[in-house]
Amino acid sequence: MLTRRTALMGAAVAAMMMTMPALADELKLPREHVDLVAPPFVHPHEQATKAGPKILEFKLTVQEKEVVIDSAGTKFWAMTYNGSMPGPMMVVHEGDYMELTLVNPETNSMPHNIDLHSATGGLGGGALTKVNPGEQAVLRWKATRAGVFIYHCAPEGMIPWHVVSGMHGTVMVLPREGLKDENGKPLHYDKIYYIGENDLYVPKDENGKYKTYETLAESYADTTEVMRKLIPTHVVFEGRVGALTGKNALTAKVGETVMFVHSEANRDTRPHLIGGHGDYVWEAGKFNNPPQKDLETWFVRGGSAGAALYTFREPGVYAYVNHNLIEAVELGATAHVKVEGKWNDDLMKQVSPPGPIPPEKVGAAQPVAVTR
C-alpha cells in the first residue's frame, strides 16, 4: 500500500539521486587510486599531509567462500570483502573524499551493502550501496571525523549473519596534521598492524562434530540458531586460529613504535600486549580526543575500533591477546609479535635461573603467621 509518507520518502530519495551527479561534478579535486592489502597489513599512506583534500578511490569485491578456521580443519562459510576476514583497512585524511566501488559478482548468492561508521548519511552508505549478485555501486563520502571506525555489511533482515560471517573491516581517518599527544606534540608510528577480531558460530551435529554445508544458503538456519545463543565457538584474529602466530607472527624491532588498530564489529573485547603496554591509546578510536597513556589493557566496544601506540623496549616474543583469557587461550584470540634487538638488563634480568630449592639453614627461625 502506498502511503503519503512512503510517497514523500520516495520523492526525497529521487530528488537526492537527481542532485548527486551535479554535486559530484563540482568536485574539482585530484584523484588517487589505492590498492588495498589484506590484514594485518595496511596500504601505504602518509601519516600527515600538507596537501589539500583529494578523492581517494577504493574498490571492495564481495567474496562468498568456504574457509578453514582452525588446525582441526573446521570449515566455515564466510562472507568477505576482498576475500579476507576482516576486510582491508582503508586510510584517508580528514577532509578527503572516499569514492568506494562495491562489487557483488554474479557468482555470489546474497545481496550485500556497506555501512561505514566513518560516513555521514544514508545509513552510513548502506541505503545507497545495496547490490544484488551481478551488480556494483559507487559511493562517495566526505571524511569529516578523525579516528578509526568499523564498516560492515548491513542487508535488511540478515545483518548479524553477514557481520559474524566476516563482513566487516576498518576505515582510519587521520588528522591532516597527523597524530598528537595530549599536549599537542606530534606522534609517529614506524609500523601499523590491523587486527580484526571475529566471533564465529559454527553449528555442530548430534555427535558434537562441526557441520559442513554444500552452500552458504544451506548454513543459514543452523548458524542463526547457534548465533542466537550468544556463545561463539571460535574467537579469533584475522579469521582463523593461529592467523598471527608462528610463521605468521607480526614483527618489530627494539626502538620501533608500532600502531595496533583493533576492531570488533559485534562483541566487546579487551586487547592486551603481554610484556608491553599501550603508551598512547585511543580506546574509543577517535583522534580528536587526547590519548590515554600507559594502559595495561584497553577496552574496545563491540561495533567500534580502537588504536594504540607502543614503542618496543625489549626483544622476544610478545603475545597480543584478547584478555578474556578463555577466549584467548581456548577459543583462539591470540597473536604474536616477534621483536628483534638487544636485551636491556635494566628493564628485566633473570637474577638466578630455576633450580633446586636450597636447604634451610640449621636453626633458622620459621615464619609465624599471626592471626587475631
* SS3 of residue 103 by DSSP: strand
**Residue 215 known to be catalytic:** no
**Residue 262 known to be catalytic:** no
Find, among 1, 9, 40, the residue nearest to 248 by Cα: 40
SS3 content of the chain, % helix, strand, coil (to 5): 15, 35, 50
**Residue 297 known to be catalytic:** yes
**Count of helices and strands (H, E) across the chain:** 4, 19
Burial class (CB in 10 A: 0-12, 13-18, 19+), 156: exposed
Catalytic entry in 64, 115, 238, 264: 115
Catalytic entry in 117, 168, 262, 336: 117
Catalytic entry in 70, 90, 162, 199: 162
**Residue 33 known to be catalytic:** no
Catalytic entry in 296, 330, 340, 348: 296
Catalytic entry in 93, 234, 272, 336: 272
* SS3 of residue 51 by DSSP: coil
Burial class (CB in 10 A: 0-12, 13-18, 19+), 354: exposed
Q: Which three cell numbers stand for residue 149?
A: 571506525
Burial class (CB in 10 A: 0-12, 13-18, 19+), 183: exposed
Catalytic entry in 85, 167, 172, 227: 167
Q: Which three cell numbers stand for residue 22?
A: 551535479
Catalytic entry in 70, 96, 98, 152: 152
**Residue 153 known to be catalytic:** yes
For residue 22, the tally of other CB atoms under 10 A from its CB is 8
**Residue 112 known to be catalytic:** yes
Q: Is the peptide bond before 40 cis (omega within 30 degrees of 0)?
A: yes
Catalytic entry in 93, 112, 168, 262: 112
**Residue 272 known to be catalytic:** yes
**Residue 336 known to be catalytic:** no
**Residue 152 known to be catalytic:** yes
Q: How many CA atoms within 13 Å lie on the side-chain side of 322?
A: 28
Catalytic entry in 153, 172, 227, 259: 153
Catalytic entry in 61, 101, 212, 297: 297
* SS3 of residue 16 by DSSP: helix
> Is residue 39 within 8 Å of 194, Cβ to Cβ?
yes
Q: Which three cell numbers stand for residue 237?
A: 584474529
Whole-angstrom distance, CA of residue 218 vs CA of residue 106: 18
As annotated, the active-site residues are: 112, 115, 117, 152-153, 162, 167, 272, 296-297, 323
